[in-house]
Amino acid sequence: MHASNILLSAFALAGLAVASPVEVAERQAAKLRIMPLGDSITEITCWRALVWDQLADAGLASQVQYVGSQNSNPQNCKPATANWDQHHEGHSGWLAVDIANNYLTGWLQKTPADIVMFMLGTNDVVRGKSTNDIIGAYTKMVNIIRAANPKTKIIVDLVIPLSIGSSSAINSINAAIPAWAKGLNSTDSPIVIADCSTGFKTSDLRDGVHPNLSGDKIIASRVGPLLLDYVKQSLGK
């Protein structure tokens, strides 16, 4: 072996032994970035953990990461995959309109994403925002997501029911989503709908708002397969 190659190998070995923070960052940047975006139904629930299990079962976990400014597991979820990625952009109590108007641009600058999946609107409904306001916020979010990365793949969830108060406002958002999504769909930045609503009973809620394990499983079963499709397409599998 040539002396300079030996030297290079020694450096390579040293690099493997102790990866510098920069190297770790580069390795992580190479992974496909998935942002779980939402309110408490994203933050203090276990469906994102269950979806991670689906990624792991499909052998994809080492090639993807969840991204977002949050890194937490407030419900102490214990999925099959112990080292699941706990990053997310779920914010308890937050409204779609505020996220669209004031926060999403900055979040995507801090933690860029290749795939964004979101469920939002529940808190808007509780605070009396109209379906038009909420769908307007969705449009603004899609525009922000695409401005940050024109090739972002998007999953929008139909919103789970709410047993505190009337469910008609949630039904109204869900009824508006299909035509809205179709209107903004594009080849470069597709939008697909995860139907988290059909068959989701208020008895799948632990407190009238948040899914219990049964509800988490329903959400994961609707979001996961669409996410796996996106991940496989993105990785050329």
Ligand X SMILES: *[C@@H]1O[C@H](CO)[C@@H](O)[C@H](O)[C@H]1NC(C)=O
Nearer to ligand X, 148 or 213 (CB): 213
Quick one: which segment of 1-9, 46-54, 143-151, 209-217 binds ligand X (CB under 6 A)? 209-217
Secondary structure (3-state) at 199: coil
Closest to ligand X by CB, 67 or 231 = 231
Near ligand X by CB under 6 A: residue from 212, 221, 225, 234: 212
Which of 235, 195, 237, 225 has the alpha carbon at shortest distance from 57?
225
- Per DSSP, the three-state class of 142 is helix
In 3D space, the residue among 142, 131, 150, 133 whose CA is nearest the CA of residue 98 turns out to be 133
In 136-220, beta strands by DSSP E: 153-157, 191-194
By CB under 6 A, tell whether 78 contacts ligand X.
no
Q: Of 7-15, 41-49, 101-109, 188-196, which part binds ligand X (CB under 6 A)?
A: 188-196
Among 81, 190, 221, 234, binds ligand X (CB under 6 A): 190
Q: Report the distance separating Cα 33 and Cα 218, nearest Å.
A: 23
Under rule CB under 6 A, residue 191 binds ligand X: yes
Which residue, 165, 135, 151, 124, is CA-closest to 39? 124
Choose the binding region for ligand X from 2-10, 80-88, 105-113, 187-195 (rule: CB under 6 A).
Answer: 187-195
Instruction: Give the sign of the dihedral formed by CA 17, CA 22, CA 28, CA 29.
Output: negative
176 binds ligand X (CB under 6 A): no
Pattern 135-174, ligand X, x by CB under 6 A: ----------------------------------------
The piece of 42-50, 59-67, 119-127, 190-198 that touches ligand X (CB under 6 A) is 190-198
Ranges of H-type helices in 46-87? 47-57
DSSP 3-state percent helix, strand, coil across the chain (nearest 5): 50, 15, 35
Stated as kind and residue range, the H or E segment containing 115 is strand 115-119
Binding window for ligand X (CB under 6 A); candidates: 49-57, 117-125, 130-138, 210-218: 210-218
What minimum distance in Å lies between the beta carbon of 180 and ligand X? 8
Query: With binding defined as CB under 6 A, does residue 223 bind ligand X?
Result: no
Site residues, ligand X (CB under 6 A)? 181-182, 185, 190-193, 203-204, 206, 212-214
